[in-house]
Structure 1
Amino acid sequence: MIGKKTLAAFAAAILLAGCQSGAHKGAASGPTDPELDRCGASDYQQYVGKPLSAIDGLRFEHPARAVPWNSAVTMDFNLNRLNFMGDSQNTITRVYCG
């Protein structure tokens, strides 16, 4: 019989495994769908984990926006626009087209 502590630890490990980010580019990542990557977000995944200010001064081929935590932004969906999402510490958490 499995103890309650062992079962709780196993459940916590499973839940935390689901929280891992798949945004990092690497050898294990699959091919990128060109239709969903029109803005070239796959080329900027190395900025995830860096401060939003890390993109200051960069020039982009497509429209781009840095979105600080809790900021109001338009909800229009534009696959040609590059988005850098920031968290409450102004760290980039996601880079995507839309």
Structure 2
Amino acid sequence: MERRAGSFAVFGLLALLAACAPGTAPTPPGPAIPAVEDDTCGAAPYARLIGQDATALERELIMRQVRVIRPGMVVTMDFSAQRINFEIDDNNRIARIYCG
């Protein structure tokens, strides 16, 4: 019985590690920028950055919470209506900007 409990513990640990593996965070669906009524984080002024290289963010002064999400990056599911999320695609371009 003790051996069986140990194997369940190992299985549970492996399942937990798999859940945290890179590339498991789903990309939230939606438009490239939030709709006006959903723009709680003030993302609209940064719409011009969509399609630009991610290094364009280095030249921006953004005085609020910001999160840059790269391909395969593990992202927490916490929601902050004031935070701007910049989603970077596989070509290192800004693909989407959204609040959360």
- The TM-score normalised by the length of structure 1 is 0.62
Q: 1:64 aligns with which of 63, 66, 83?
A: 66
Match of 2:47 in 1: 45
Unaligned 5+ runs, structure 1:
1-20, 25-30
Matched, 1:55 2:54: no
1:82 paired residue number: 84
Alpha-carbon spacing, 1:44–1:97, altered in 2? closer, same or farther (3 Å): same
RCO comparison, higher one (Cα < 8 Å, 6+): 2
Residue 32 of structure 1 aligns to which amino acid in structure 2?
A: V
Whole-angstrom CA distance in 1 between matches of 2:89 and 2:32: 15
Looking at structure 2, the residues matched to 78 and 44 of structure 1 have their Cα atoms a distance apart, in angstroms, of 18
Is 1:92 the counterpart of 2:94 in the alignment? yes
- % same residue: 34
Q: What's the secondary structure of 1:56's corresponding residue?
A: helix
Instruction: Give SS of 1:66's match.
Output: strand
Distance 1:38 1:95 in 2: 12
Shift of 1:22: 5.4
Which structure has more helix as a fraction of its residues? Answer: 2
Structure 1 Cα separation of the partners of residues 32 and 69 of structure 2: 17
Q: How far is the alpha carbon of 1:74 from its aligned partner? A: 1.2
Runs (4+) of structure 1 moved beyond 2 Å?
21-24
Is the Cα contact below 8 Å between 2:85 and 2:97 reproduced in 1? yes
Q: How many equivalent pairs are there?
A: 70
Structure 2-normalised TM-score? 0.61
CA distance in 2, matches of 1:89, 1:60: 23
